[in-house]
């Protein structure tokens, strides 16, 4: 058993037919982010893939838990990425699609995973990092050392305006670190849209997901 719940993956078709681009949304297992945002209105399609263990599957390396009594972060994003990439042919065959381009998208830790996948694998023409957990210890430093040529690719990042007011000191760094990541992406030649939108981390999730999917769809299908 891997890190992805592939049997629970779901497909939401767009209007563009079987060869239109597809956005893969890596999502939480029990509490999907922005589920209402997945309904219709796109040219490309969306495949939602839940993970089994959120704290492990979406994080790039191990780290201590944020809160006493909560699970530490397992740092298994590399394994999750390999599993997802290897599953693409079977997932696309399941619904009879052959997309010409693909994006990866996620919210919170899923957004961190999406950016991690985008930077590690040219399979992804675009990524959506929505309220991404870019406060993660060591992430910005890793990007400084590892981000290379991203010309011809696209990233959409969004963040709630109140997220920097979180109680935990590490979480308070999220806007500063997100904006540093935006600059690193642009310096590498990536086309980037960055939006600061109202609310805290769990506010307006449907709207944030809908806006992110729309931006990715517009870029992929241009």
Q: What is residue 184's predicted lDDT score, i.e. its pLDDT?
A: 98
Q: Residues 84-114: pLDDT tens digits?
A: 999 999 999 999 999 999 999 999 999 999 9
Percent of the residues in the chain that have a pLDDT greater than 70, as a whole number:
98
Assigned architecture for domain 6-220: 3-Layer(aba) Sandwich (3.40)
Q: What is residue 137's predicted lDDT score, i.e. its pLDDT?
A: 96
Q: Residues 160-204: pLDDT tens digits?
A: 999 999 988 999 999 999 999 999 999 999 999 999 999 999 999
Question: Tokens for 61?
Answer: 């390396």
Rounded Cα distance between 213 and 104, Å, is 10
145 CB burial (10 A radius; 0-12, 13-18, 19+):
exposed
pTM of the model: 0.96
């Amino acid at each position: 058993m891997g890190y992805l719940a592939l049997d629970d993956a779901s497909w939401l078709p767009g209007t563009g037919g079987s060869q239109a681009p597809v956005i893969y949304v890596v999502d939480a297992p029990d509490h999907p982010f922005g589920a209402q945002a997945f309904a219709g209105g796109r040219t490309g399609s969306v495949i939602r893939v839940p993970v089994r263990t959120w704290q492990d599957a979406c994080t790039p390396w191990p780290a201590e838990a944020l809160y006493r009594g909560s699970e530490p972060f397992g740092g298994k994003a590399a394994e999750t990425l390999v599993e997802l990439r290897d599953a693409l042919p079977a997932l696309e065959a399941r619904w009879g699609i052959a997309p010409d381009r693909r994006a990866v998208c996620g919210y919170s830790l899923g957004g961190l995973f999406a950016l991690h996948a985008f930077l590690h694998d040219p399979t992804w023409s675009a990524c959506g990092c929505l309220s991404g957990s870019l406060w993660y210890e060591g992430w910005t430093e890793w990007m400084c050392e590892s981000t290379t040529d991203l010309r011809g690719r696209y990233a959409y990042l969004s963040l709630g305006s109140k997220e920097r007011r979180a109680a935990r000191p590490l979480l308070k760094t999220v806007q500063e670190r997100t904006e540093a990541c935006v600059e690193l992406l642009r310096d590498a030649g990536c086309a980037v849209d960055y939006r600061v939108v109202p609310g805290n981390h769990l506010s307006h999730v449907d709207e944030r997901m809908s806006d992110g999917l729309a931006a990715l769809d517009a870029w992929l299908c241009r």
